[in-house]
Chains A and B, each alone.
Chain A
Amino acid sequence: MTLRGWWFLFVVAVITWAGVLWLGRWSVSIPLLGLALSVWFATEWVLFQHRFLNAADQLRVDRTLMQGGRVVPSVWVGAPFTVRLTVTSTGSSLLPFVVITDRLPADFSLEDDANQRDFALLPGEPVVLEYTLKADAPGVLRFEGVTVRVADLAGFFYRRIFLRLPESFLILPPLTDEEGRQRTHKRFNTLPPPGVHRLRRPGSGDELLDLREYRPGDPPKMIAWKPSARRDKIIVKEIESDVPVRCVLFLDASNGARVGMPGQTPVIRHVEIGAAIAQAATANRDLVGLTIFDEQTADVLKPARTKLHIIQMLRKFTHAAAELPDPLQTDADLLARYSHPIAQELYPDLLRREINSRPLGLFWLPIVDSRWLWLMMALLLSPLLFAFRGVLETLANIASIFAPPGKTWMLMAAFAVLPGVLAWWVWFVHGIRGLLPPRAGRTSRRKQLCALFAVLDDAGPAAIERLRNDDAAFAKRTTAFLRHHQTRLPLVMFDRDGAYRFRNPEKVVILANALTQSVGRARDNELYIILADLLELGADIQPLVNAAKVARARHHQVLVILPWPPDVPAPNAQVPKATQDDAKIATVVQSVLIARYHRNFAALRSALAKSGATVVRVDSGDPVRLVLERLDQLRGARIRR
């Protein structure tokens, strides 16, 4: 019942009871008035309950995404799309007033509440809610469900339910037009056709590689007649081999690469660049492969140039961009405070007290779990000290000082009883604290979440108690819950020693192994593009340097594209240095961090340059254009292996 309903009921009840009991003697209209309004109120209640039970939980919701006037299974970055929600009541009752709100995916917002609308829902008659969204970054569009508010027309009764309808749609990286990313100027006069480059090995290409003497089995059409006539022996032509140019992308999807502002994380920027490179290279008929690595594994997609391959790559890019960072948070209370509102919004029915109970005994703090137990025990056992003559005599002397003559025994009795009373007081004060804020709220939240997780995991009652007692397990499960529902947590970037918490040095080993394996699989000269956040790694970069050396030794090219924060100036730009007069600590910290960033970049570039790899920043020019030029160089180079 709403506040309006309670107030109306109160006034009507007062008038009805007063009219029946007392005022009706003077005017019959008064109790009649109260009774008529009470009957109307009761009618509204019965109708509301009947309608809610017969229709509200029997709503069928269908969601479709439309782009360009047709239903699509995924959407593209930068292109507006329409979310179309069809709600149908399969119940038997009319719902005269229903407010339907489609919960927006994370990082989306609408200023005009277009995702909310009220309807009168008739049985079997669908209603449609449409609104338009636009995605700014690749990822996964996760819709959790629909909030349904049901109320009566007078606003006396109200229920809110959440129809869970989890659906995920991919937000694919922007689709590059095929002509837009192709080379626009010809840098080499002897460029072969797109998609191939010449390898100085005998093959079936077009360019002449060499002349040699005839060997039995050579096809007659390969005989070079003029040289044969000149030398008076049969000479055959050897033709160069035409091989495709191959490019392998290495994408860093580690935890550190996911850290950043929503839509501006390094992995998202890398995904955008990688998707553009892949599409442009495929448009040039070059083969593109992809390796997505993190701290633990590397996922390899072999080079190919089919449309299906490109779609598969875009999907992998999208999934990599959609992952939220693991906050590495272990504060169970903080996690509970973040996850409880989400649970209340998405699972309000599973947090109801009727089915997710919080018994009173749950809140009482048992003293046996505390060190206060020792104090309580000491107080309870302190009367045993009376067994010692010295203690007894001392207390008797004290009692004789304070107590009147003849009444000393009463003070001695008080000495014997008071510790016990104090012990029980300690027990009571310790236990009752659990029923007071903030502990009570904390306990309640945690129990509700634990029961919810147990149901979601299809676990038993022991799981509730495990999660309730084990902070580490609870933190892990809660983090998974929040990440599953795409909820961002505040990140602590540096530990107490000032070290960056998201370095992930393990990923370098994974990357180096993946690069070495790619070199082993390579058929000819290839371009390896590493899209990774390596700036904080320092000396841990050595395995990658070694792998790059191996690649260069095999005449491959290695290009490392590093993310660059938008608020950090370029290395060659003037950095305002903090002075001693500068009172703002933030400025000092910022300048120190920028200097550290520049230092790391210089060190990394120097280390990789020694191995022959090229290091570029994301914000320096057009990395995609640079990659295409490198591919052209590979195509134009006449390399002998």
Chain B
Amino acid sequence: MSVATPVIEEPEDDAVRNYLFVALSALLVVVLVLMRNASGNLLVLIGIVPALLGLFLRWTAMPGVFLLTLTYLQLFPSGLPVQLDAKYVTIAVPFRMHDFLLLGATVVYFVCQFRLFSLTVQAVPSDRLPIKQKATDRPIRRNTRSVNADELYRLFFVVTACVVVAQAVWLVLTIVVIEPSVFPPIRFVSPNSASAEFNTDAGSLNRFLFLVGVVGSSGLAGGFLFWYRGLQRMPVDHARLFLLDTAWRETRSELSRQEKWRAWGQGTFHAVSGRNPEQGPGTLVVVAVFIALFLLALLFGSVLIYAIF
């Protein structure tokens, strides 16, 4: 049992330091992999500058910038833009060691970076819209006391699993061929023959379609499962309101008509029609405006016909 005390804690403590050091270590690995790809070119160090800005200055846009920079450095390892066509990949082999290192280190960095944001910047969105926020509103940060000691261990397990799954998905993407004209429309090929078709447009499209199918079906299945689980756990008052609302939607027109008749009987029909005599112009003004509009339309139509003919 833990007891909360009304003391505002500063986030600078062990939990923050641990995440910071792990993220820096991950960035070091990223730098080493990038330098290996660039044959020791120190220009790749620029690539981790956004990540460092995110870590030390807590700029929340920096992880995205870092990801884009990393992508750029994968395309142009030396950091300088060169002709792309000359550097086609000849073989799509998954489970390479430097991919493992790069992916693992990158994901570790992102995990640490976003958890640091939760600890130091903001953990949950504000209840008010940004334009409606008051100066006294303080962002809700994660309390460092609630950081479990085994979070980091679990982080490494999760990251390792993610990297392995990503490699496996990539492997499947490269060996699956979709041919709608034959049955079955999906067939597997050996990795060698897959590498031969890797750089063709058909191969790219094949991978793309298969990935769309996998993501779509997984998302639908997951969404359906959670939706069904939510229905199973629906509280009583939710279920009652759901039924009530459905009944109201089905009988709305009849009920509305009854209410209008009742209002007519009570002489309070203006309340039903939503007309508030204290708001907006009077009926006479509105009718006059409409008559004027009608005459204008008449005149416009006449002029138009005259101009045409």
Contact = CB atoms under 8 A, between A and B. Distances in A.
Interface in B70-96: 70-71, 74-75, 84, 87-89, 92-94, 96
Contacts of A125: 1
Interface in A29-44: 29-33, 35-40, 42-43
B211 A29 contact: no
A27 B75 contact: yes
Contacts, number: 301
B309 interface: yes
A418 interface: yes
Given A153-B151, A469-B259, A36 B106 contact: yes
A402 B305 contact: yes
A155 B233 contact: no
Given A33-B103, A35-B166, A127-B4, A465 B256 contact: yes
Interface in A345-371: 349-350, 354-357, 359, 361-362, 365, 369-371
A22 B208 CA distance: 9
B88 A26 contact: yes
A462 B255 contact: yes
A26 B75 contact: yes
A355 B241 contact: yes
B290 interface: yes
A46 interface: yes
The size class of the interface chain B forms with chain A is 35 or more
Contacts of A19: 71
Contacts of B161: 43
A24 interface: yes
B259 A465 contact: yes
Nearest to B286: A372
Interface string A401-432: 01110010011001100110110001000000
Contact of B306 (A3, A151, A402): A402
Interface stretch (B38-46, B137-145, B182-190): B137-145
Contacts of B4: 117, 119, 127-130
Interface in A1-60: 2-4, 7-8, 11-12, 15-17, 19-33, 35-40, 42-43, 45-46, 49, 53, 57
A155 B99 contact: no
A158 B204 contact: no
A156 interface: yes
A120 interface: yes
Nearest to A84: B3
A349 B238 CA distance: 8
A37 B107 contact: yes
A350 B238 contact: yes
A422 B293 contact: yes
A153 to B, nearest CB: 5
Nearest to A58: B233
A83 to B, nearest CB: 11
A455 B297 contact: no
Contacts of A4: 60, 114, 117
Interface string B284-309: 00110010011001100111011001
A379 interface: yes
Interface in B98-152: 99, 102-103, 106-107, 110-111, 114-115, 117-118, 122-125, 127, 138, 140, 142-143, 146-148, 151
A375 B287 contact: yes
A40 B124 contact: no
A370 B273 contact: yes
A30 to B, nearest CB: 5
A192 interface: no
B246 to A, nearest CB: 8
Interface in B254-281: 255-256, 258-260, 262-263, 268-269, 271-275
A35 B170 contact: yes
A113 B137 CA distance: 10
A46 B226 CA distance: 9
Interface in A89-145: 96-97, 99, 110, 112-114, 116-120, 125-132
Contact of B88 (A25, A149, A466): A25
Given A20-B173, A43-B162, A28 B306 contact: no
B159 to A, nearest CB: 7
Is chain A's binding surface mostly helix, strand, loop or mixed?
Answer: helix
A37 B110 contact: yes
Given A21-B205, A119-B146, A359-B249, A29 B99 contact: yes
A544 interface: no
A460 interface: yes
B244 interface: yes
B252 interface: yes
Contacts of A362: 252
Interface residues of A, number: 113
B124 A149 contact: yes
B169 interface: yes
A470 B271 contact: yes
Interface string A449-474: 00110110000111011101111100
Contact of A32 (B99, B245, B271): B99
Nearest to B169: A35
A350 B245 CA distance: 11
Contacts of A23: 71, 74-75
B233 A461 contact: no
B97 to A, nearest CB: 12
Contact of B263 (A37, A113, A470): A470
A215 B158 CA distance: 107
Contacts of B272: 369, 469
Contacts of B198: 25
A25 B6 contact: no
Contacts of A53: 226, 229-230, 233
Nearest to B110: A37
Contacts of A22: 204
B17 interface: no
A96 B155 CA distance: 13
Contacts of A470: 259, 262-263, 268, 271
A414 B103 CA distance: 72
Contacts of B208: 17, 20-21
27 contacts: A2-B125, A25-B89, A25-B199, A25-B204, A26-B74, A27-B89, A38-B166, A39-B165, A42-B218, A97-B118, A112-B8, A113-B6, A118-B123, A118-B142, A127-B2, A128-B1, A129-B4, A151-B123, A153-B115, A154-B111, A155-B122, A359-B252, A369-B272, A418-B297, A454-B244, A460-B244, A461-B251
Given A154-B118, A411-B305, 12 more contacts: A27-B75, A32-B167, A97-B142, A118-B123, A128-B3, A130-B4, A356-B245, A357-B245, A415-B298, A418-B298, A421-B297, A462-B258
Interface of A: 2-4, 7-8, 11-12, 15-17, 19-33, 35-40, 42-43, 45-46, 49, 53, 57, 96-97, 99, 110, 112-114, 116-120, 125-132, 149, 151, 153-156, 158, 160, 332, 349-350, 354-357, 359, 361-362, 365, 369-372, 375, 379, 398, 402-404, 407, 410-411, 414-415, 418-419, 421-422, 426, 439, 451-452, 454-455, 460-462, 464-466, 468-472
